[in-house]
A and B are shown apart, each in its own frame.
Chain A
Amino acid sequence: MSFSTFVTDKAGLQKLYEAIISKHETYAPVEKFGKYDYKKVSSLKECDPDSPIAMTMSVKPLFFPRSSKIMKYESNSAGTSVSETEDDHLAVPRVILGVKHCDARGLQVLEAVNKWDYIDSDFQKRRANTVIFSTRCDKADTHCFCTSLDYDVENLDATDVALVNGIGGKLYIQARTEKGENFLKENLEKQSAVGSQQSAMDDIKKQYEAFAASFRLKMDYKDVNEKMSKRFNSPAFEEASRNCVSCNTCAFICPTCHCFKISDVKIKDTGVRYKSYDSCNNVYFTLEAGGHNPRPAKYRRWRQRSMHKFVFYKERFGVNLCVGCGHCAISCPVNISIFDVVNHVASTPVVL
């Protein structure tokens, strides 16, 4: 099934954004302390949908919040009662502007684990009610390697609407899903559809080629997947993780990391049960109640992280858990990139 493509210019796009913000609940990157995070906005002035990828947090918290209430409980002489928390403010119909392609892909990857043995209905509901407006980057950042992974960045179907910068100030708005197509029909006025016009398609293709050529990092993910699966006992993990400070930043800002912990915040007889982020780089992550820790050393935690991204998830769900956004390397205080780690491990001899 093919979807429509529209052409517009900068002013037209501004108008479209303004119309969306006035009509729908909209989230967009907002700058705080030099870092962009997705927040609810009421006017276009507050936000910057063209925020640079290196300075923008992932869109994951809008679907899997940093801390979400699961339930409330109360116990009294009559027994214990459990109640639902208030309405989920993230499950209402909404639009997210300025999403990066890799972030959108991250949500698609997460869908697999959220539909697995336990179906996370909150996540599904939030996904179903959201229209994602993504922008294809023009240039790769230092740590980006999205084109080297197992998804089609050019025709990404994880996003509903994709914006592509053409030549000479032209902007192409492409619907990528049915939801996006319907949304564009409702919101676009007097925009010219290009359909399958050859010149426009060439333009879009050219932009992608220029973008793909700007990557510093390139790898063959199939090769890495295969080699990693044979190197569980490789000493290279120890070398690669030596200067990690175990600060957990990488997992908290990763668009696909989904480990969480459950905690009760209680006062006397009432309490709230929370679900919040956790990180496998944390010493406490695998600590058992009896005091035994199966992953006491740093390299074992790093091995878990990189093997989960490139081997275990792939074996179970058929996709890589890494989307190549490079956020972990940008935010890491000592600039360890998962790209370097997996490539270093893959290049060492097999250890059985």
Chain B
Amino acid sequence: MEAESKDKIVSIEKPELIAPPDWKPVIMGILCNWCSYAGSDLTGTSRTQYPPNIRIIRVPCSSRVDPWFIIKALQTTADGVLISGCHPGDCHYISGNYYARRRFLVTKELLKMVGFHGHRVQFSWVSAAEGAKFAQVVKKVTDDVVKLGPLHLYKKENFNR
């Protein structure tokens, strides 16, 4: 079920570049330990399939995500970033995701201004019981990034593709 890229996929930010035919997107998934990571576990145990393009990193809480993580991911391997945490009000640490929400909005808007497409960085609230939703979210993010093409902006030296 891996997302297949079609012929002649161009990068939306740099239309002059055409992706190689075997290009597959890489999504960096940063999931909170208490809800989204458990949710992704449930997706696995209930045998729901989702695109394997996502690479998951577990963090204690969505507010652990410094905007710097997103920038670093985009500058190295990732073509897109998905950050997922508990629903508002369900945070294990009472209010972590409320703080995180503010940071995410500002980060996303700033990245959009400097020339990244808004779909490069996406956020979701996935609870431990929402295995199906997690599969859906990953599928949507992967589809979006496939449409955008590979990311070529400000890549770190050795990651130039």
Contacts and interface: CB of A to CB of B under 8 A. Distances in A.
Interface of A: 265-267, 270-272
Contacts of B158: 265-267, 270-272
Interface string B135-160: 00000000000000000000011110
Contacts of B159: 267
B78 to A, nearest CB: 14
Interface in B75-113: 76
Main secondary structure on B side of the interface with A = helix
Contacts of B156: 265, 267
Contacts of A272: 157-158
A326 B39 CA distance: 62
A272 B159 CA distance: 12
Closest 10 CB pairs of A and B: A267-B158, A272-B157, A265-B157, A270-B158, A272-B158, A265-B156, A267-B159, A265-B158, A267-B156, A267-B76
A265 B155 CA distance: 13
Nearest to B159: A267
Nearest to A272: B157
A267 B159 CA distance: 9
Interface of B: 76, 156-159
A267 B72 CA distance: 13
A270 B156 CA distance: 13
Nearest to B76: A267
Main secondary structure on A side of the interface with B = strand
A275 B158 CA distance: 16
Contacts of A267: 76, 156, 158-159
Given A267-B76, A267-B158, A272-B158, 9 more contacts: A265-B156, A265-B157, A265-B158, A266-B158, A267-B156, A267-B159, A270-B158, A271-B158, A272-B157
Contacts of A266: 158
B29 to A, nearest CB: 20
Contacts of A270: 158
A271 B76 CA distance: 14
A194 to B, nearest CB: 50
A265 B75 CA distance: 13
12 contacts: A265-B156, A265-B157, A265-B158, A266-B158, A267-B76, A267-B156, A267-B158, A267-B159, A270-B158, A271-B158, A272-B157, A272-B158
Contacts of B157: 265, 272
Nearest to B77: A267
A79 to B, nearest CB: 20
B116 to A, nearest CB: 22
Nearest to A265: B157
B15 to A, nearest CB: 23
A168 B158 CA distance: 56
Nearest to B158: A267
A272 B160 CA distance: 13
Nearest to A268: B158
A206 B158 CA distance: 56
B159 to A, nearest CB: 7
Contacts of A265: 156-158
A265 B158 CA distance: 9
A197 to B, nearest CB: 54
A150 to B, nearest CB: 41
A267 B160 CA distance: 12
Contacts of B76: 267
A23 B158 CA distance: 34
A267 B75 CA distance: 12
Which of B76, B156, B158 is the most central at the interface, judged by chain A CB atoms within 10 Å of its CB? B158
A128 to B, nearest CB: 28
A271 B159 CA distance: 11
A257 B114 CA distance: 33
Nearest to A266: B158
B87 to A, nearest CB: 36
A271 to B, nearest CB: 8
A270 B160 CA distance: 14
B161 to A, nearest CB: 13
A83 to B, nearest CB: 13
A5 B142 CA distance: 67
A339 to B, nearest CB: 39
